Amino acid sequence: MAEPSVSRRAVMMGAGAMAAWAASPARALLAQATEQSRALPAAVEALLGQMSVEEKAGQLTLMAAAWSGGAATALNPAGARSSFDGQLAEVRAGRLTGVFNGNGATMAKRMQSVAMRESRLRIPLLFAADVIHGFRTVFPVPMAEAASFDPDLARRTARAAGAEAAAAGIDWTFAPMVDITRDARWGRSVEGAGEDVLLGRLIAAARVKGFQGEHGLAAPDAVAACAKHFAAYGAVEAGLDYNTVDVSERTLREIYFPPFQSAFDAGAPTVMASFNEISGVPSTANPWLLTDVLRREWGFGGLVVSDYTGDEELIAHGFAVDAREATKLSFMAGVDMSMQSGFYIRHLPGLVAAGEVPVARLNEAVRRVLALKVQLGLFDDPFRRIDPRREKTQVRTARTLALAREAGARSIVMLKNDGGLLPLPRSGKRIALIGPFASGRHDLIGTWNVYGTDAEAVDLETGVRAMVKDASLVSVVEGAGLDGPVAGGIEAAVAAARAADVVVLAVGEHARMSGEAQSRSAIVVPPAQMALAEAVAATGKPMVVLLRNGRALALEGAVLGASAILVTWFLGSQDGPAIADVLFGAVGPSARLPVSFPHATGQEPYHYDHKSTGRPNPPGAPQEYKTHYREFANKALFPFGHGLTYGAIDYADLDLGDAQLTASGAMTVRATIANSGTRAAEEVVQLYVRDLAASVTRPVRELKSFRRVRLAPGERQTVSFTLRRPDLLFIGRELKPTVEPGRFRLWIAPSAEAEGVSGEFSLG
C-alpha cells in the first residue's frame, strides 16, 4: 500500500501487495511455522507412533456439539443427529478431535474430562466456534466494521471477542471471513470486509491479530483464527449462495487470494475450504488450490479444515460417486480435517488399509492437528480456557460494551445530509420515530452470531430516549412490518409524522435477509416498508432515513429522496446508543462504504475497480454505443469509499513533486484537505491510482492507501502519501506479479468515484 505519512505499522501491513509475497519475510516465516509444526515436541511425536489409524482419523473429525441440541443447529442444516452421550462415547474411543458451536465451559469441562480420563491416549479436545463479530458482547457485523476504514478498530473488537470466547472454553474461531464480495445479492457479503482488496487485506490481518492476541496462541485469552472460505466463495454466479464460480487464475491471484495471504502473514494457523467449485473443481477437493498454491507456493504450514459437510457435498456437486470417494478426493487434495460429515472417521481407515491413502499423508494431517493443539497450550493444560467462573465474569463487561458502542458509531455511514438536517438537536424538536426497526429488541445484532442475543442488545428507541433532553417529545410508531403491512400502520405513522417536527424513519432488511443462504434477487427495501416511506414522505416533514442492512442496497423513491440517510447496518449490543450518538452529533459520522451501492439490482455485480471497456461512457449522460445501462451510467449510486461528515471538506492543491517514480525510489504526493464547515470532522482521505496502459488491462481506479484525518472547523492540513514501485504491481501475462513503466493517473479523493484532486505521473 502506498505509504501515508503516519503509521509505520500500517505501511508494513500494506506494503507491496500480493506480489511481494513470493520473496517476502512473511513467506519465510510461514516456512518456519511449517518447520515448527513438523518439529513437534518429542512426546507428541511419540504419541503419533502409538495411535491407531482409527484414532488418527478421529483427530481429523470435528462435529457440531450435541449438548442440548448444540448452538450450531440454529445456524447450519441439521446434519447427522447425534446425542451428547453418543459424542462422549466417540471421545472415549478417540474418534473425535473436538466439537464446535458448543454451549460453554460446563459442556467443555464435561467433554474434556472424558477425553483426559477415559480415552486411551488422552489427547485434549479442541473447542471451536463461529465467533464472527463478537461473542456475548456483539460488535457490528463485519461489513459494517469494515466501513470504519479502521483496521485497528477491527483488531480491538476481535481481541475483545477472542478474550470473551476463550473465557467460555473456546480455543478456535472460524473467523475471519476474508472473502472479497462484489455481488450484493450474495447474503454472505455481510460477513466480509467488502469489495476492495486493500481494505480486505488490512482488515483480515487486523482481525487475525485481534483474535490471537499478542502473547502467543497458548495464552488463555487467545483463540486461533481460521481464514475462510478458501477460495473465491464470494464470486458465486448470480450472487446465489453455494453456486458455481468460474474466475480466471489472474482474478484469483489478484482479487480473491490476497486477503488470505494477509491473514496467514498475520499468523492465522488454519484455513477453511469453501463450498463452491472453481472452473469445475470443488474447492474441497482442489489439489491445485489446497496443495500447489497454499502449501507449495505460499509455504502454509497450518491446518486446512473443510466447511460444514463440504466433503460430503462433493457427491451432490457430481464430483465424487460416493462417501468413500469423496473422502479420498478431499483428503488427498489437502483438506486435513473434516467438519460434520463424519466421512473421515468412517472411510479413512479403510482407504489407508487399501493403500489408497498413504500413511504419510495421514500422519501429516494428524501432525498438523496435534501441532495446533500444542500451540494452543492444550497439551500443557487441556482446561486452560475452561473456567465456568471466568465465563461468567469476563463477558459483557463495561469495557467491551463501551467498545461495542464506539465501534457501532464508527461504522455508521452518512450517505447524504441535505440542508444539514443532521445532527438533530437534543432538545426542542418533536421527533417521530417510525418504522419496523424503530423499537424493540429484534434485528439488532445481525446474522452469524451464535452466542449473543437481541434480548441483551439496546434498541433504537432506548438509545434515542436516553439522548434527548425531553423524552416526551419522541413518539414511536411501527408503521409497517418487516416484510408486510400492519393494520392501520401507515395511518398511525402519517399522523405521528404530521404531529412532529422531524421524522426518523428506520427501515431496511431484517437480520435473516443477509447471511448464509440469504441471497436476494432484488436488493431493495421491502415493498411494505417502501409504501410506509412514501406515505410518510408525502407529509412533507423533514425526514432522516436510518437504513438497516446487511449488504449494499439499491435505494429508490422516498428512501433515496429523504434529506438525510444513515447506513446503520446491524451494530450489535449497543446498536441503539451508537445510532443515537451519530444522529444527535455526540459522535460525528466518519465511516465509508466498503461496498458500492448500485442504482439497481440489475447492475450487480458492481465494483468501483471495474475495467474501462473499449467504449467507456464519458462522464455525464449515457451516450449511444458506449458502456452504460439504458437507465443510468455504469457508476454507483453511492460508490465505495463514500461517506459524509458533519464538516464540509474540500480537496485542493495536489502536489506530485516531479511526478516521476523511479524503479527503486519513492514518490511523495500531497494535497490540502480543509474543513470549511462549522463542525469538527474525521475525513477518510483516499489515494487511488490508474495504470493508463499496460500489457494486461487495469481497473479504472484502485485504492492504494487511505488515512483518517481529524479537522477542526476551519482547519486545513496537508496530507501526504508515499507511493513505491510495489504499489503498482499487478498480475502480468505470465500470472506473476509484475510492474511496467508508463503513465499513471492518481487521485486523492473522498471516494472511489469522486474527482477530488488528480494528476498524472510516470514510472520509469
Q: Return the active site residues.
A: 307
Report the C-alpha gap between 49 and 37 in whole angstroms. 16
Nearer to ligand BGC, 142 or 598 (CB): 142
Indicate the length of the chain as a whole number.
Answer: 764
Q: Which amino acid, 358? A: P
Q: How far is the CB of 244 from ligand BGC (least distance, A)?
A: 16
User: Quick count: other Cβ atoms within 10 Å of Cβ 743?
Assistant: 13
Report the C-alpha gap between 329 and 285 in whole angstroms. 5
Nearer to ligand BGC, 72 or 595 (CB): 72
Q: All 3 cell numbers of residue 294?
A: 497454499
Q: What is the 3-state secondary structure (H, E, C) of 87-110?
A: HHHHHHCCCCCEEECCCHHHHHHH
| Strand ranges inside 196-283, DSSP E | 226-230, 270-273, 277-278, 281-282
Nearer to ligand BGC, 341 or 475 (CB): 341
**533 in the Ramachandran plot: left (φ > 0), alpha (ψ -120 to 50) or beta?**
alpha
Are 170 and 131 in contact, with CB atoms under 8 Å apart?
yes
Nearer to ligand BGC, 220 or 282 (CB): 282
Nearer to ligand BGC, 174 or 706 (CB): 174
Report the C-alpha gap between 153 and 132 in whole angstroms. 15
Residues 6+ apart with CB under 8 A from 8: none
Nearer to ligand BGC, 130 or 604 (CB): 130
User: Quick count: other Cβ atoms within 10 Å of Cβ 91?
Assistant: 25
Nearer to ligand BGC, 14 or 302 (CB): 302
Q: How far is the CB of 187 from ligand BGC (least distance, A)?
A: 11
Nearer to ligand BGC, 174 or 651 (CB): 174
Phi, psi of 377 (to 5 degrees): 80, 15
Nearer to ligand BGC, 77 or 358 (CB): 77
Q: How far is the CB of 306 from ligand BGC (least distance, A)?
A: 10
Residues 6+ apart with CB under 8 A from 447: 141, 187, 190, 191, 511, 512, 514, 515, 516, 518, 550, 570
Report the C-alpha gap between 232 and 248 in whole angstroms. 11
Long-range residue pairs from 614-623, CB within 8 A, at least 24 positions apart, any chain:
616/700
Residues 6+ apart with CB under 8 A from 453: 445
Q: How far is the CB of 191 from ligand BGC (least distance, A)?
A: 8
Are 723 and 666 in contact, with CB atoms under 8 Å apart?
yes
Give, as one character, the DSSP assignment of residue 292.
Answer: I
Q: Which amino acid, 260? A: F
Nearer to ligand BGC, 307 or 753 (CB): 307
| Strand ranges inside 443-535, DSSP E | 474-477, 502-508
Are 189 and 246 in contact, with CB atoms under 8 Å apart?
no
Strands 660-661 and 61-64: unpaired
Report the C-alpha gap between 242 and 497 in whole angstroms. 43
Residues 6+ apart with CB under 8 A from 162: 131, 173, 210, 211, 212, 213, 221, 222, 223
CA 489, 491, 497, 500 dihedral sign is: negative
Nearer to ligand BGC, 417 or 449 (CB): 449
SS3 748: strand
| Strand ranges inside 302-407, DSSP E | 303-305, 338-339
- The label of the residue with cell 519465510 reads 28
Nearer to ligand BGC, 308 or 721 (CB): 308
Q: How far is the CB of 329 from ligand BGC (least distance, A)?
A: 20
Interface ranges with ligand BGC (CB under 6 A)? 72, 75-76, 101, 130, 174, 228, 307-308, 516
Phi, psi of 149 (to 5 degrees): 45, 40
Q: How far is the CB of 90 from ligand BGC (least distance, A)?
A: 19
* Residue nearest ligand BGC (C-beta atom): 174
Q: How far is the CB of 271 from ligand BGC (least distance, A)?
A: 12
444, burial (CB in 10 Å: exposed 0-12, middle 13-18, buried 19+): buried
Helices (H) and strands (E) in the chain, counts: 23, 27
Q: How far is the CB of 189 from ligand BGC (least distance, A)?
A: 13
